[in-house]
Amino acid sequence: MFDLTGMTALVTGASGGIGSATARALAGQGARLALSGSNADKLAAFRDTLGGDHLALPCDLSDPGAVDALVPRAVDGLGGRLDVLVNNAGVTRDNLTMRMKDSEWADVIGVNLEAAFRLIRAASKPMMKARFGRIVSVTSVVGTTGNPGQANYAASKAGLVGLSKAVAQELASRGVTVNCVAPGFIRSAMTEALPDAQKAQLSARIPAGALGEGGDVAAAIVYLASREAGYVTGQTIHVNGGMAMI
């Protein structure tokens, strides 16, 4: 079950916490990957740890021209096909709304939402032609609940959900599914650096009693990328240990 042998996938933000866990999970199920990230050296080093015939495709997602070229580069490098697109890359520029600079708003919307739109638009063409495709975007629990100081981030993640629902309706008849995975608090280098008291506060908000792991999110993505998930589209799977029961 969930065997991805013979499938190809493009993963953005692939060398980060959730991105690397997702890449490992997809590769572990047999997919051949095009890994994208902004740090070329870090990306290449991570690609080498995976083994296999995977590609490292550095890309600055704040550059619309580079984003538009990414899917064609991936399709070319993966042998002329793209079965799965995982929009995982994201940035934060936190600030209270009344103090938020135009650049802080634009940076987050540009990378988190506009770049995802551009990649979905590009990926939909080869997927429709093949009459098969899986598009998965990583959103966030704060796209549903909101979070003070993150109006830009919450808006970008909520926008991904609306975007995915619209595109899901457009592509369903061509065998292409479009879904989201919304993580809650996931263990990362950033959360590990928090004081113990703050970690305890975070855990207290989660009925499961602990922060999630990157692999928890990756497992949901693998399912949505699989052939078995062909009748699931326009949905958001929340992976948050029960902190927000949507």
Closest CA to 235 of 155, 146, 136: 136
- Give the residue ranges of DSSP H helices in 140-229: 142-145, 151-171, 189-192, 196-204, 214-225
Residues taking part in catalysis? 153
The answer to whether residues 30 and 224 touch, using CB atoms and an 8 Å cutoff, is no
pLDDT per position as a tens digit, 109-139: 999 999 999 999 999 999 999 999 999 999 9
- The structural domains of the chain, with segments of one domain joined by +, span 8-239
Topology of the domain comprising 8-239: Rossmann fold (3.40.50)
pTM above 0.85, yes or no: yes
What are 34's strand-pairing partners?
A: 10, 55
Give the pair of three-digit tokens for residue 55.
Answer: 């590609």
Closest CA to 33 of 61, 59, 62, 4: 4
For residue 108, pLDDT over 70 is answered with yes
Distances in whole angstroms, Cα of residue 211 to Cα of each of 5, 20, 238, 246 = 31, 18, 14, 18
pLDDT confidence band for 181 (50 / 70 / 90): very high
pLDDT per position as a tens digit, 186-221: 987 667 766 788 778 888 889 999 899 999 999 999
For residue 69, pLDDT over 70 is answered with yes
Cβ partners under 8 Å of residue 190, min gap 6: none
- Among residues of the chain, what percentage have pLDDT more than 90? 88
The answer to whether residues 23 and 32 touch, using CB atoms and an 8 Å cutoff, is no
pLDDT per position as a tens digit, 21-40: 999 999 999 999 999 999 99
The answer to whether residues 244 and 183 touch, using CB atoms and an 8 Å cutoff, is no
pLDDT per position as a tens digit, 74-106: 999 999 999 999 999 999 999 999 999 999 999
